Structure 1
Amino acid sequence: MNLNALPFDSDAMLSGLKPWIECESPTFDAAAVDRMMDLASYDLAAAGAEIERIPGRMGFGGSVRARFPHKDFGKPGILISGHLDTVHPVGTLQKLPFRRDGNKCYGPGIQDMKGGNYAAVEAIRQLALAGIETPLPVTVLFTPDEEVGTPSTRELIEMEARKNKYVLVPEPARPDGGAVTGRYAIARFNLKTEGRPSHAGWALKDGRSAIALMARKLLEVEAMTTEDCTFSVGVIHAGQWVNCVSSVCHAEALSMAKRQDDLDRGVEAMLALTAEENDVRFEVTRGVTRPVWEPDAGTMALYEVGKAVAAEIGFDLTHGSAGGGSDGNFTGALGIPTLDSIGVRGAGLHTLGEHIEVDSLAERARLMAGLLARLD
């Protein structure tokens, strides 16, 4: 099969992707995520899939599982795993509208990871139109909660991965266009301080500020960062009235390590911070965790197929381990050959400058098509 003969068209793909980007789908807005799942379900069905909608739980949106017709339908094949939630709240389109500027196109979630997901669907569609049957059956699973650590669909992803021989994850490509063949471990933590309220003007000394202790503890947490294990605080909530001493403060922290042992020590150190100072209680509880995914022989053999496909297309597919976890952490840690970050090129994910390189849409769809057509 001549991969370069398949008629992938980046401009046409961008037109198809536009409704996905303009359907804002922040993780915590289940109804918005479900609207996005509707759009994806239609495009998957139009590409020939049998669609199954899986209800959401824990307050999150639902998932879509799409299975494509195949002579070996139901046997172990290829799972394409992606998420359709984004970090951008509804209304971000006013600040970051879908906008093309030369070879760049901007929009919330366009790089992470709607662009890669759309390219994967287009790859399957073009193979079907060309009458090319993949050696293995293909399943696509789109989930709603990756951006918050996949608390509601981890079991779903892992069980689906166990039914298949390979997992492909169209998360954004590395800066050089390379793939990811391993990921660092990540742990999330919920932080809480609880003090005593009082009127801040009339009886300040009677209060015990939860905000004040949290501020000191956050500096302590971030100061724990080393080369082996990092700590950062990304969320903090407290207070409603400036004339009240705030009695409760909540925060969320993230820790990342290249090795599981380092993360385990980091978790132990974080949990040990629980203490009480000046009648204010500081409590740390553990949130969701992504395990270390270290590349094994199966993943590296899968990568070599991807590298060969990329060479036919005309670029060098590098590889390496990376931070910033994905659902590939789960499938790779299970020992299932996984190739991650084979989605679109771009930059600025999670910011108001998020964009893709438009011509990478066809490139990455072609890469996905080649993988689907070669893996057996």
Structure 2
Amino acid sequence: MDAATTRHPALDLPFDTEAILAGLRPWVECESPTFDAAAVGRMMTLAGRELALLGARVERIPGRMGFGDCVRARFPHPAGDAAPGVLVMAHLDTVHPVGTLERLPWRRDGGTVRGPGIFDMKGGTYLAVEAMRQILRAGLSTPLPVTFLLTGDEEVGSPSTRDLIEAEAARARFVLVPEPARPDGGVVSGRYAIARFNLRATGRPSHAGWTLSEGRSAIREMCRQVLAIEAMTTEDCTFSAGVIRGGQWVNCVATHCDLEVLSMAKRQADLDAGVGRMLALQSSVPDVQLEVRRGVTRPVWEPDAGVMALYDHARTLARAIGFDISHQSSGGGSDGNFTGAMGIPTLDGLGVGGAGAHTLDEHIVVGTLVPRARLMAGLLATLA
């Protein structure tokens, strides 16, 4: 995996900012929220067609558990499909519901472009496709077979695709994840451990006007739990209540209230301890029941020698292009958690620069498009 002593032609491919933006726009304007399987399917169709036009053998893998389909695209290679290669691992689902384009339309404003999912992570995914396009257009070859795996449930922890991701990664020598770049332009060499929890409080209904005192509010109990859960946050393990739903009629004491909680830790042992605390929670009042269920978990991914060798290679390429990249372990899980934890050399955060992920200020920095595309092309064309 040593960088070539002479400059590789992939680092000088003729990437064009305007062409990249023109190709990216239809992806961003094809809204694809995780929980809308049909919308995710439309996005997979768009991306799959693009990869097919480049000569990849595209497979549509049906979704399950109510989530959308996935796309796997293998590019022909003399070594054949069985040879370990490079896996480009990306997701095309977003947190933004259909209709967000009305409030966050595609808009170029000086050096930035806005749009739902443009930063996390359609911009980076499109750059990886564009890198492959330019490699093929120039008649260059990749030392290893290249496979793209595009999934549609990453934003909720990849509950329906983890097995697919791990099976594909087991066949790979390297995994490249074009998630957003770090704020300083660096890449991700590790990810924190993450656990999700689903809580339900069950109280006793009563008429809120006539017999209020006879009821036991599930909402009231869950509010107590939110305060107690977030108070458990330490530097080693954090807890955040992100979604709460309860009640049906304002004139009825709420029977049920549901809560979703996210916990994150830099070390697996700290997350395991946090999981234990969550599962031990009990109702603060005897007449309200509390159920705590553990949901999707992402294992901790810590950089090892293979990851650091991959990072060093990427850094050498970046410097040859004209910029530098740091590396860091990061919060905010990705599918790199799975592949990195398996011991497959994985480099994450290879996508575009920008900010505002998951908000109505989501945007990319135009000036990062070509350098990051060249870095991805350099990796695909030199990893061996």
Q: Same fold (TM over 0.5)?
A: yes
Separation (CA, whole Å) in 1 of partners of 2:144 and 2:378: 13
Aligned to 2:352: 344
Aligned to 2:73: 66
Q: Is the Cα–Cα contact under 8 Å of residues 3 and 313 in structure 1 kept in the other structure? A: no
**Alpha-carbon displacement from aligned partner over 1:106-133 (angstroms, at most 9, x marks no partner):** 0000000000000000000100000000
Q: How does 1:27-176 map to 2 (within 5 A)?
A: 27-74=34-81, 75-176=83-184
Following TM superposition, where does structure 1 have runs of at least 4 consecutive aligned residues deviating by more than 3 angstroms? Answer: none
Count residues with an aligned counterpart.
Answer: 376
Aligned to 2:256: 248
Aligned to 1:227: 235
| Aligned AA (2:21) | L
Q: Is the Cα–Cα contact under 8 Å of residues 37 and 68 in structure 2 kept in the other structure? A: yes
**Alpha-carbon displacement from aligned partner over 1:167-186 (angstroms, at most 9, x marks no partner):** 00000000011000001000
Separation (CA, whole Å) in 2 of partners of 1:274 and 1:33: 38
**Alpha-carbon displacement from aligned partner over 1:315-365 (angstroms, at most 9, x marks no partner):** 001101000000000000000000000000000000000000112222211
Q: Is the Cα–Cα contact under 8 Å of residues 62 and 143 in structure 1 kept in the other structure? A: yes
> Which of 202, 212, 215 in structure 2 is aligned with 1:204?
212
Structure 2 residue 330 is matched with structure 1 residue 325: no
Separation (CA, whole Å) in 2 of partners of 1:158 and 1:365: 26
Separation (CA, whole Å) in 1 of partners of 2:335 and 2:49: 24
> Which of 10, 13, 17 in structure 1 is aligned with 2:17?
10
Aligned to 1:239: 247
Provide the aligned C-alpha RMSD in A.
Answer: 0.8
Q: Is the Cα–Cα contact under 8 Å of residues 171 and 342 in structure 1 kept in the other structure? A: yes
Output the TM-score relative to the length of structure 1.
0.99
Unaligned runs of 5+ in 1: none
Aligned to 2:32: 25
Separation (CA, whole Å) in 2 of partners of 1:195 and 1:123: 56
Separation (CA, whole Å) in 2 of partners of 1:127 and 1:73: 19
Separation (CA, whole Å) in 2 of partners of 1:139 and 1:2: 21
Aligned to 2:3: none
> Which of 314, 319, 343 in structure 2 is aligned with 1:311?
319
Identify the range of structure 1 (43-52 vs 338-347) with the bigger mean alpha-carbon deviation: 43-52
Aligned to 2:196: 188
**Alpha-carbon displacement from aligned partner over 1:237-277 (angstroms, at most 9, x marks no partner):** 11121111110000100000000000000000010003461
Q: Is the Cα–Cα contact under 8 Å of residues 299 and 338 in structure 2 kept in the other structure? A: yes
Q: Is the Cα–Cα contact under 8 Å of residues 3 and 312 in structure 1 kept in the other structure? A: no
Secondary structure at 2:199 match in 1: strand
Shift of residue 69 of structure 1? 1.1
Q: Is the Cα–Cα contact under 8 Å of residues 281 and 292 in structure 2 kept in the other structure? A: yes
Shift of residue 73 of structure 1? 2.0
Q: Is the Cα–Cα contact under 8 Å of residues 11 and 377 in structure 2 kept in the other structure? A: no
Separation (CA, whole Å) in 2 of partners of 1:160 and 1:278: 49
Secondary structure at 2:172 match in 1: coil
**Alpha-carbon displacement from aligned partner over 1:171-204 (angstroms, at most 9, x marks no partner):** 0000011000001000000011000111100111
Unaligned runs of 5+ in 2: 1-7
| Aligned AA (2:331) | G
| Aligned AA (1:157) | I
Separation (CA, whole Å) in 1 of partners of 2:12 and 2:239: 48
> Which of 339, 349, 364 in structure 2 is aligned with 1:356?
364
Identity over aligned pairs, percent: 68
Structure 2 residue 221 is matched with structure 1 residue 213: yes
Q: Is the Cα–Cα contact under 8 Å of residues 108 and 352 in structure 1 kept in the other structure? A: yes
Output the TM-score relative to the length of structure 2.
0.97
